[in-house]
Structure 1
Amino acid sequence: MIEAVGERFEPREVPARRSTAGMKWDSASVAGATVKLRFSEGVLASALDRFYFADKRYEKAGCLQVSFNVSGVNSSVWLAETILRFGDGVEVLEPGELIADIRQRIEKMRNLYLKL
């Protein structure tokens, strides 16, 4: 029990962990895929906030691996943009289509700055 300013607050139960198996993150395409990402120690807090409902596994090196299902990665603009926000603190492990999309986006960004 916690008391503050004369008010009493009882501890709450932590909600049960939900699986992402049935969740659809992208309704724009039909084919489904499992996305696997590895986050470095420096971005763990942000990754845990953003991928709260994803299945999580901590690795010995201090990294966090998350996996979740999407209904399709080819048109998942939001997913690529979300991943790129983590900079070099995230590695896409699966699927290959998402790795190729991220690689292409990084190459486009690189080319923008080579012109300077």
Structure 2
Amino acid sequence: LIVAMDYFTKWIEAKAVATITGGQVKRFVWDNIECRFGIPGEIISDIAVDVVNNDKELRLNLDLLEERRELAVINEARSKSKMTKYYNSRVRGVAFQPGNLVYRSNDASHAAAGGKLG
């Protein structure tokens, strides 16, 4: 099955074939696309850049760039404070008294790394 689709108009052209070869694809394109719709003699494009307006736009973008950065910093600070508040609301404060039994990591006795992973 050979399928060609115009993504702008969503028009589909399809042809069922047993095996797809280069010649069949070439013929499909010639019959269903080039002969039916034609090829323009020249492509017209209006991509001229207006230098005066372009300079004004660039200056305006540079002026707004600092404002955008400030807004990004404000949003980042707001997000950090929100995450801190969320984390601190779930942390349980523990106060130890003299004589309480606590778990202590004894790194001093394991000074030399050993074993397969250590």
Name the TM-score, length of structure 1 as normaliser: 0.29
More helix by share: 2
By relative contact order (CA 8 Å, sep 6+), the higher-ranking structure is 1
More strand by share: 1
